[in-house]
A = this chain, B = another copy of it.
Amino acid sequence: MKDDRLERWHKVIFEKDMALLHDLLAEQVEFHSPTVWKPKQGRDITAYILSMVIEIFEDFEYHHEWIDNNSFALEFSAKIDGKNIKGVDLIHWDDEGQIKHFEVMMRPINGLNLMYEKMTEHLKEAGFI
């Protein structure tokens, strides 16, 4: 079977295909944010956060993509309000081809703080926190 997981993930990110994002996330997916320790659980909150992040990032690009069976590490760069950031998406898939664990790490601190402010603002508006 052709492995089109990376291709489908790119479609989510670069074509902002939010219906596909929903399909790719397992119902019990865990989202580990770059800002806080405690993961968020479930497809709805994870889809919401990821779609928000996709909107916040400007000039998003992947630079290196490591694939090892069900585990991907995707190195990216982007801008937030014009500030440069780098990051990594760690994506673990289940055997049914859905994402069960999504973890993001980012540098440097000032970009991360800006991200945190923007995410908190959006989550409050949406009634999640």
Contact = CB atoms under 8 A, between A and B. Distances in A.
Nearest to A111: B37
A33 B73 contact: no
Interface stretch (A9-17, A18-26, A50-58, A98-106): A98-106
Contacts of A86: 32, 103, 105
A36 B109 contact: yes
A87 to B, nearest CB: 6
Interface residues of A, number: 30
B33 A108 contact: yes
Number of copies: 2
A107 interface: yes
A34 B110 CA distance: 10
Given A32-B86, A66-B68, A88-B88, 17 more contacts: A33-B107, A35-B108, A35-B109, A36-B109, A37-B107, A64-B73, A64-B90, A66-B67, A66-B71, A66-B73, A73-B73, A73-B88, A86-B105, A103-B107, A105-B106, A106-B107, A109-B112
